[in-house]
Amino acid sequence: IAGLPIDTTDLDLYKIFAPFGALFPKGVRAMLHPDGTCKGIGFVNFLDSACLEAAVQTLNGTTMPDGTVLVVKLKSPTSAPAETQEEQPAIE
């Protein structure tokens, strides 16, 4: 997820994405600067890939209250084993 306001927290991400389906424990993360402000990016891990797709379709391009626009997309594949990637549908 990109385009997050500077005051975004893990709880904020949870509140935005939880309505789309079950998330892994500790499955939301807003990336923070040392001073505690959000870097504008975050990650969310759903238990079910259908929930992931619904969140991407619904939230990508959403304008936040501060005027920033969310960019919600599937995480790029990594060199991790395929079964690990399937177990943890993620968006970035």
> What residues have CB less than 8 Å from 45, skipping those under 6 apart?
23, 24, 27, 28, 88, 89, 90
Vertex 35: Cα angle to 62 and 61 (nearest 5)? 10
End-to-end CA distance of the chain: 4
DSSP 63: B
Q: pLDDT by residue (tens digit) across 43-63?
A: 999 999 899 999 999 999 999
Quick one: what percent of the chain has pLDDT higher than 90? Answer: 70
Average pLDDT, the chain: 87
pTM for this predicted structure: 0.78
All residues at 6 or more sequence positions from 22 whose CB lies less than 8 Å from its CB, including other chains: 46, 47, 48, 51
| Domains in the chain with CATH codes | 10-91 (3.30.70.330)
